[in-house]
Amino acid sequence: MAQANISVTESQFRCPVCLDILKEPVSTPCGHTYCKTCINNYWDQAESGHFSCPQCRETFSPRPVLRRNTVLAEVVDKLKMSEMVSAPELYMGGVGDVPCDFCPAESRLRAVKSCLVCLASFCELHGLPHRDVGTLRRHKLVSAVESVAQRLCAQHRLGLEPVGGAEEAEAAAEWSGDCLLCEADQEEVHNVEAQRARRQLQLQEAQRMVQVRTRTGERELEEFQQSLDSLKVSATAVLEDSEAVFADMSLRLEKTKAEVRARLETKERTVVGRAERDVELLEKDLEELRRRDQEICQLLQTEDNTHFLQAAPLLCVPLSNGRHSQALSMPTEGFSSARRALCHLRSRMEEVCREEVDKISRAVNDNYMSGGQCVKGNSKPSQSAGQHTAGAVPVSFPLSSLSLQPADQRMRAAYLRFSCRLSLDPDTAHPTLVLLEGPKGAHCGEEPQSYPPHQQRFDSVAQVLCKEGQFGGASYWEVEWRGGGWVDIGVTYRGIGRKGGGKPCLLGRNENSWRLRCTHGGYAAWHDNRKTTVAAPPCPRIGVFLERQKGVLSFYSVSDTVVLLHTFRCPFSQPLYPAFRLDLDSTLIICPHEGGGGSGNPA
């Protein structure tokens, strides 16, 4: 079978950045190939988050992971070997053969190149410095020719010979033919002009694309700015309506409170007045009974039989006891029904508030989704013009409705029964994290720590795991955060990525981890790269309650009250490890263990 004979040249294997033979060739996602060092330096100098191909200008986000083009590297190595390692040929003095000026006379090799700057000819071995040394690589090499100096024109020869030489005029007169340096200059001029023309066309096309993208971006920016202004006006209006509605509700509640109070006070006066009159009647009856008892005692002690017989029938007549029986039958808790009615009113108000808050949240999400779709629809023309801004349109995230039920320290005491002991794992801590209090906390600084290398250590994300894994049952722990940056509090499976950046290593950005981001402006819950904003004021202490077997993970803000921030509900298939990520100048402290019912077991 005949072999295919493919003709290639050295220029086809040059890096477009350094214009030299490719070294460690790597390919970008668009298919172009560069030296690994050249493309990395090019991207290191680019703006943050903007990585593009130097040739076609295609942008990539995030920064692509460059891998060595093995096949191309082998081809380049073979090309170098074919040029550099060829069998040396001895100088035989044949027609057209040129001897190497640097080989010894007894073993002189045939020259393959001549240098128009050094005015010497070289064999393959002695010509290597012109390939490797930076200064010599700028010299002009041509195929080997005899008497290089004699192949130059008079102008170039006069510049190379000593001033005042006696043979200048004679040498200039004897020379005839084309000058190698002149030919090289002309060839270089033609090459430069061709390259400039080609580059000029590329620049003009790039300028046209930039202008198109600029006009499209300006139009989109103007439209988006108008939408933003409209959104701000709408948000301000709904906030004012909200204030007015709740002010009216508060006024109505105050009126209802005054009306209920007036009715209760009226009922109280009526019942108490009736009871006080009954008490007065009872006191009169008791006074009359005591007087009758005293008269009977006196009559029993008299010795006058006539008086005794006359008075005895009158004292034996019984007194009326109707009022006394009626007073004794009065209920002791006359307002129990009113208390039950008030409790029912509170329950109904809480239920109605929860339902209405959920409705408002859904309405806000529906409106925001509609707005996002409109913006996305407006960005379609930009896609046809080569834009990549459609992916930057914000995605609608659901708002967590906060529980309106009263949450006090009794709830926290119930959770503390499941409190578990935690400590940070030094073998997983990123070098910028300074572990505190043995280790019960961490601080993120700028200076890296001298931690020993470990396969479990995060090398690109300021994260750290706890030693203790939560295997089953219920577990609860609290942490405090402070400083100028944000803090991520979450849990993850043990197999989260440790080396390199990207979603596999970030808490909440993959399906194996869950997190709550705490900032000075609010909170955001993340799982599987999906975000849920949480509308709640910032709190320095966060409680985490985990029921792994039930698939429930809840975050609470802990102060004088315990307020639910967000709850994840999903089946957990592996043991979970508490994990934290810190921003620069942020500090996190694991609160001391309180109680002792947690079922988290150390890994």
pLDDT 10s digits, 362-390: 887 776 554 444 443 444 443 443 444 33
Please report the pLDDT score of residue 566 as a whole number.
Answer: 94
Please report the pLDDT score of residue 218 as a whole number.
Answer: 92
pLDDT average, residue stretch 59-87:
77
Please report the pLDDT score of residue 308 as a whole number.
Answer: 84
- 211 pLDDT higher than 70: yes
Please check whether residue 581 is in contact with residue 433, taking contact to mean a CB–CB distance below 8 angstroms.
no
pLDDT average, residue stretch 305-329:
71
Cβ neighbours of residue 514 under 8 Å, at least 6 residues apart?
490, 491, 492, 507, 508, 525, 526, 527, 553, 568
- 483 pLDDT higher than 70: yes
Please report the pLDDT score of residue 424 as a whole number.
Answer: 93
Please report the pLDDT score of residue 458 as a whole number.
Answer: 93
When mean pLDDT is compared over 268-277, 347-356, 578-587, the highest value belongs to: 578-587
Please report the pLDDT score of residue 598 as a whole number.
Answer: 52
pLDDT average, residue stretch 353-360:
85
pLDDT average, residue stretch 211-239:
87
Pairwise CA distance, residues 164 & 167, whole Å: 9
pLDDT average, residue stretch 176-202:
74
Please report the pLDDT score of residue 526 as a whole number.
Answer: 95
For 292, 299, 320, 587, the CA distances from 314, given in Å and listed in that order, are: 10, 11, 14, 96
When pLDDT is cut at 50, 70 and 90, the band that residue 595 belongs to is low
- 74 pLDDT higher than 50: yes
pLDDT 10s digits, 158-178: 545 444 444 544 544 444 456
Residues in a beta bridge with 142: 114
- 72 pLDDT higher than 70: yes
Please report the pLDDT score of residue 407 as a whole number.
Answer: 43
Q: Which helix (H) or strand (E) segment is 580 a member of?
A: strand 577-582
| Amino acid letter, residue 54 | P
pLDDT average, residue stretch 202-227:
90
Please report the pLDDT score of residue 22 as a whole number.
Answer: 85
Contacts by 339-347 with C-beta closer than 8 Å and gap 24+? 342/260
User: Mean pLDDT over all residues of the chain?
Assistant: 79
Please report the pLDDT score of residue 339 as a whole number.
Answer: 81
Pairwise CA distance, residues 219 & 97, whole Å: 69
Please report the pLDDT score of residue 496 as a whole number.
Answer: 92
Please report the pLDDT score of residue 318 as a whole number.
Answer: 79
10 vs 259, residue with greater confidence: 259
pLDDT average, residue stretch 289-294:
88
- 500 pLDDT higher than 90: no
Please report the pLDDT score of residue 215 as a whole number.
Answer: 92
468 vs 166, residue with greater confidence: 468
pTM above 0.75, yes or no: no
| Amino acid letter, residue 157 | R
587 vs 77, residue with greater confidence: 587
**Lowest-pLDDT range of 184-188, 305-309, 543-547, 577-581:** 184-188
Cβ neighbours of residue 7 under 8 Å, at least 6 residues apart?
none
**Lowest-pLDDT range of 313-322, 380-389, 422-431:** 380-389
When pLDDT is cut at 50, 70 and 90, the band that residue 57 belongs to is confident
Q: Where are the beta strands (DSSP E) in 187-323?
A: none
pLDDT over 90 for what percent of the chain?
A: 23
Which residue, among 66, 57, 59, 65, has the nearest Cα to 34 in the 3D structure? 66
